[in-house]
């Protein structure tokens, strides 16, 4: 019987009843261990037995979780889902689950328990279902321990990606003293003492009240040991064995571990500590299992783990569990044998976080791995780290290259050098990227398949440097060799680059090639290339100022990268979308995205810093000069024109706003413009040219300038303004209108004021008054969206700051990372001119900012 859970149960009942009107929901049930989350779900499901379809899956506390662990539990009752899992077909798995939640005859409830331990691949499934739950005829219920899901836990980002109206949050709270009294009934136990000892946790209340307070010390561990002490020695051995196995043990596996029979199973079940659930026996609550496990001596802990490990090996069971017990047994030989295989399987299923954990467990034992395998394993480890945007990937790939060289393994060396090109370039090491590209071509010269991939990688590198024609030529060579050698991946990789290069050269068929590459990648399961194709589509359409299309591609790129846990590309997509929003005049949203992307890898960081510099220059916030100088440093280091030219344009615009017509960096801006034009980056060249023209330092006829930038420079203000209007770019439209009639200029002022470009509006207002044009005053402080220029998210952070919350607490409240909160707090202090958090809170209260 549930006690003091009426409101929580009512929320679940309402969520189910409202499905017809509001669609499906994701229900988050949070609370500490033993608080009664599972009991609440069980009661809800029992109330609707026969009225709904209900399926449950469980996450286990393995050192490295089993990929798609809870989904396998669901598959026990859904045959077609099991087929998809057996084939490792992630798309089919997601489609099957979505279909399961979309049945029309009865609502469906899918429960995933203990998602604080969820594996990465299952997390992708939850993200996929959560974003589409509004169209479902059911509920997706996730239970988790809020004490273990902190601001850095990957579950946080998944929850944040689901539309707020689709989420129902239920916090299961401790029992009140009155409820505790009801739980223990007629017992003479001191209720207040019991509440003091347990904090109102139902599990601990039950355990301690059953054992009697006089025999219960402060630790639940000793309570568990008291229960176990009365067991016969064989049953106690079984209890201890199950204690080292998160998620329990299969009943048919137990005889392989030790001389255990039905009498031992009956004895441990009677303790009330364990439950038999189908074909498995497990501790009723994880907290009890942990209490039992930590009571074991180190020697006994290793012995039991070794016994379970051996039984799993003999039964050909899941490798993730085998590695967990090998690590528990400190069995170096088993770790060396099974961790690389478990890591490879995790990589194949897209569980890169789990793959990284498996590979990292090998670090102390690398010298124990056979030389013939060591380099390949370290290379796989580097690939897994790269997917998580970890700089350690560079050191690992260099170590793998050294190992391959030492063994004179030319095939492996060529493969590692080819991959190293991307790693070096992405981490701001262009000289090493060039060297690796040259060496990869040399080493693979006699192997057509490997050489095709090396050529495709060199084509990508040329594209990143802005060498469009070289990239196109190398991609053609790679495609020809890939076709003749039947190398599908090299063809896909080269096609992805060629599509972008063609589009840069003015051939719109390039978009078709990119779409072809995306479809090929999706069909063949090359997740990174699928996401990269979307990034290229977003970048290409942004370069062409097809802003609405670019916004859609950017959002798809971000979602796809997030689903596949490809952090570098997810951050890249965010900065592309921020660039689009900058053009569209949605500056608050652009600023928030840029702040979220700070401190990422150098490719992303330079774009985020530059975007913030431009925004602060146009809106009069913060210190744009400091940001733009930092962007210059990062852009120069990258040597990529796609970083250098936008930074040059940003700096020239900043100089124009500030009236710095003889700035020392302007010659470097002219050089960037020329380089961009030579490499057929017309938008980049035109943007730099525009601001140099505004500064009156653009040499006539220096480059061919494409419209609408060319129209602005030629004085065709009406044509340019109309073009920018059609493109949906209000800021650029206003700049163009300033070259027109008095009415055009007044309209431009209105636009600039409406989007928050006050320093620019002020500059034009002064110029107009200087030539005798009567202009209205600027908007008053009260009419602006926020008197201090805070974005909606920053205003929210300020409110929480004023409540005295720490950064960690703010991150927890907003479901964002600690790093994101730190960036927002820094921005808030800067915009308020505050020297500390307390100072910001005082300013907010004195100026009435907490009501904005």
Residue 57 has pLDDT above 80, yes or no: yes
In angstroms, what CA-CA distances link 36 with 46, 48, 169, 208, 767? Answer: 15, 19, 15, 16, 69
User: Does the pLDDT value for residue 700 go beyond 80?
Assistant: no
Is the pLDDT confidence value at 780 over 70?
Answer: no
Least confident residue range of 282-296, 430-444, 483-497 = 282-296
Q: Which helix (H) or strand (E) element contains residue 169? A: strand 167-171
On the question of pLDDT at 215 being above 60, the answer is: no
* Model confidence pLDDT, tens digit, residues 97-116: 999 998 778 899 999 999 99
Q: How confident is the model at residue 63 (pLDDT cuts 50, 70, 90)?
A: confident
Cα–Cα distance measured from residue 610 to residue 628, given in angstroms and rounded to the nearest whole number:
6
How far CA 764 is from CA of 165, 640, 659, 696, 760, in Å, comes to 44, 34, 12, 16, 6
pLDDT higher at 278 or 648:
648
Averaged pLDDT for residues 38-50: 94
Residues 6+ apart with CB under 8 A from 165: 22, 134
Q: Which residue has the higher pLDDT, 146 or 47?
A: 47
Rounded Cα gap, residues 331 and 364, in angstroms: 12
Q: With 60 as the cut, is the pLDDT of residue 717 above it?
A: yes
Range in 242-251, 284-293, 776-785, 828-837 with the lowest mean pLDDT: 776-785
| 519-534 pLDDT per residue, tens | 999 999 899 999 999 9
Q: In sequence order, what are the residues at sequence separation of 6 or more whose Cβ sits closer than 8 angstroms to the Cβ of residue 844? A: 798, 799, 801, 802, 832, 850
* Residue 304 confidence (pLDDT): 97
Per-residue pLDDT at 550 exceeds 80: yes
Q: Which of 245, 248, 281, 246 shows the shortest CA–CA distance to 262?
A: 281
**pLDDT of 822 above 60:** yes
Which pLDDT score, from 0 to 100, does residue 287 have? 67
Of 207-221, 278-292, 362-376, 474-488, the one with minimum mean pLDDT is 207-221
Residue 414 confidence (pLDDT) above 80: yes
* Model confidence at 197: pLDDT above 70: no
Q: What is the pLDDT of residues 127-157, one digit of tens each?
A: 999 999 999 999 999 999 887 787 678 898 8
Residue 171: per-residue pLDDT: 93
The arithmetic mean of pLDDT across residues 697-716, rounded, is 86
Neighbours of 316 (CB within 10 A): 8
Contact 320, 62 (CB under 8 A): yes
Q: Cα(831)–Cα(624) distance, rounded to whole angstroms? A: 12
Looking at per-residue confidence, does 650 or 61 come out higher? 650
pLDDT in tens, 308-360: 999 999 998 889 999 999 999 999 999 999 999 999 999 888 888 899 999 99
Output the average pLDDT for the chain.
89
How confident is the model at residue 252, as a pLDDT? 93
> What's the Cα-to-Cα distance from 484 to each of 448, 490, 587, rounded to whole Å?
9, 11, 49
Q: Are 44 and 296 in contact (CB under 8 A)?
A: no
Please give the share of the chain, as a percent, with pLDDT higher than 70: 96
Written as one string, the DSSP assignment of 804-843 is T--HHHHHHHHT--HHHHHHHHHHHHHHHT-SSHHHHHHH
Does the CA dihedral 182-184-185-191 come out positive or negative? negative
pLDDT given for residue 273 in this prediction? 81
Please tell me the pTM assigned to this model.
0.73
Q: Most confidently modeled of 56-65, 73-82, 557-566, 580-589?
A: 580-589
pLDDT of 193 over the 90 cut: no
- How far from each other are the two terminal CA atoms of the chain, in whole angstroms? 47
| For range 17-24, the mean pLDDT | 92
Percent of the chain residues topping a pLDDT of 90: 62
pLDDT at 214: 52
Residue-level length of the chain: 852
- pLDDT (0 to 100) of residue 212: 63
Q: What is the pLDDT of residue 626?
A: 95
pLDDT attached to residue 818? 65
> What is the structure's pLDDT at 160?
85
Beta carbons of 26 and 167 less than 8 angstroms apart: yes
The pLDDT confidence band at residue 835, using thresholds 50, 70 and 90, is confident
């Amino acid at each position: 019987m549930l006690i003091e859970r009426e409101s929580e149960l009512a929320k679940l009942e309402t969520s189910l009843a409202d499905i017809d009107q509001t669609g499906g929901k994701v229900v988050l049930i949070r609370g500490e261990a033993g608080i009664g989350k599972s009991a609440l779900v069980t009661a809800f499901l029992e109330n609707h037995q026969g009225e709904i379809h209900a399926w449950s899956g469980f996450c286990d506390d393995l050192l490295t979780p089993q990929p798609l662990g809870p989904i396998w539990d669901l598959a026990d009752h859904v045959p077609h889902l099991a087929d998809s899992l057996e084939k490792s077909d992630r798309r089919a798995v997601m489609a099957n689950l979505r279909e399961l939640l979309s049945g029309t005859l009865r609502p469906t409830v899918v429960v995933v328990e203990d998602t604080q331990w969820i594996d990465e691949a299952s997390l992708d499934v939850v993200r996929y279902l959560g974003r589409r739950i509004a169209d479902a005829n059911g509920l997706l219920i996730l239970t988790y321990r809020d004490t273990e899901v902190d601001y850095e836990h990957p579950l946080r980002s998944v929850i944040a990606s689901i539309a707020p109206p689709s989420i129902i949050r239920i916090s299961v709270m401790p029992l009140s003293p009155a409820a505790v009294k009801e739980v223990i009934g007629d017992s003479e136990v001191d209720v207040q003492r019991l509440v003091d000892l347990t904090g109102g946790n139902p599990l601990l209340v039950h355990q301690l009240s059953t054992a009697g307070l006089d025999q219960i010390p402060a630790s639940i561990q000793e309570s568990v040991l008291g229960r176990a002490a009365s067991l016969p020695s064989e049953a106690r051995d079984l209890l201890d064995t199950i204690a080292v196995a998160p998620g329990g043990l299969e009943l048919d596996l137990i005889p392989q571990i030790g001389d255990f029979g039905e009498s031992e199973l009956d004895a441990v079940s009677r303790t009330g500590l364990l439950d038999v659930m189908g074909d498995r026996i497990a501790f009723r609550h994880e907290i009890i299992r942990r209490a039992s496990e930590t009571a074991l001596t180190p020697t006994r802990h290793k012995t039991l783990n070794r016994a379970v490990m051996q039984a799993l090996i003999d039964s050909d069971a899941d490798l993730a569990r085998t590695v967990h017990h090998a690590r528990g047994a400190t069995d170096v030989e088993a770790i060396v044998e099974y961790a690389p295989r478990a890591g490879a399987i995790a990589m194949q299923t897209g569980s890169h976080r789990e793959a990284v954990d498996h590979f990292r467990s090998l670090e102390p034992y690398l010298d124990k791995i056979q030389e013939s395998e060591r380099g390949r394993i370290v290379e796989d480890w580097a690939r897994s780290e790269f997917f998580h945007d970890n700089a350690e990937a560079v050191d690992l790939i260099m170590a793998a290259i050294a190992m391959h060289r030492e063994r004179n393994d030319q095939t492996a060396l060529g493969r590692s050098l080819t991959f190293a090109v991307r790693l070096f370039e992405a981490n701001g090491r262009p000289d090493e990227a060039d060297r690796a590209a040259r060496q990869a071509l040399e080493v693979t010269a006699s192997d057509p398949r490997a050489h095709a991939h090396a050529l495709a990688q060199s084509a990508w590198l040329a594209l990143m440097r802005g060498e469009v024609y070289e990239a196109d030529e190398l991609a053609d060579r790679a495609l020809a060799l890939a076709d003749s050698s039947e190398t599908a991946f090299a063809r896909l990789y080269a096609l992805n680059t060629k599509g972008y290069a063609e589009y840069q050269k003015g051939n719109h068929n390039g978009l078709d090639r990119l779409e072809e590459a995306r479809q090929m990648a999706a069909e063949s399961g090359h997740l990174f290339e699928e996401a990269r194709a979307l990034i290229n589509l977003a970048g290409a359409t942004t370069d062409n100022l097809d802003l609405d299309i670019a916004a859609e591609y950017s959002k798809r790129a971000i979602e796809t990268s997030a689903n596949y846990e490809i952090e570098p590309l997810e951050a890249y997509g965010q900065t592309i979308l921020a660039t689009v929003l900058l053009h569209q005049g949605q500056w608050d949203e652009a600023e928030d995205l840029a702040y979220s992307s700070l401190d990422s890898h150098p490719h992303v960081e330079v774009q985020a810093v530059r975007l913030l510099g431009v925004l602060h220059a146009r809106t009069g916030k913060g210190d744009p000069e400091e940001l733009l100088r930092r962007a210059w440093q990062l852009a120069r280091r990258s040597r990529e024109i796609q970083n250098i030219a936008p930074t040059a344009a940003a700096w020239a615009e900043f100089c124009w706003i500030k009236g710095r017509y003889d700035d020392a960096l302007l010659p470097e801006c002219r050089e960037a413009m020329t380089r961009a034009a030579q490499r057929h980056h017309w938008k980049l060249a035109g943007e730099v040219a525009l601001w140099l023209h505004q500064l009156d330092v653009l040499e006539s006829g220096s480059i061919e300038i494409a419209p609408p930038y060319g129209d602005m420079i030629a004085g065709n203000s009406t044509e340019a303004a109309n073009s920018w209007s059609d493109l949906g770019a209000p800021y650029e439209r206003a700049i163009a209108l300033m070259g027109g009639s008095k009415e055009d200029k007044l309209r431009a002022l209105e636009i600039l004021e409406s989007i928050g470009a006050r320093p620019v509006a002020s500059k034009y207002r002064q110029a107009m008054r200087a030539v005798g044009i009567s202009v209205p005053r600027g908007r008053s402080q009260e009419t602006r969206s926020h008197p201090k220029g805070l974005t909606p998210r920053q205003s929210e952070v300020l409110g929480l700051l004023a409540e005295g919350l720490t950064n960690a607490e703010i991150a927890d409240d907003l479901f964002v990372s600690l790093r994101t909160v730190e960036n927002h707090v820094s921005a808030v202090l800067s915009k308020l001119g505050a020297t500390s958090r307390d100072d910001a809170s005082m300013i907010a209260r004195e100026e009435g900012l907490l009501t904005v």
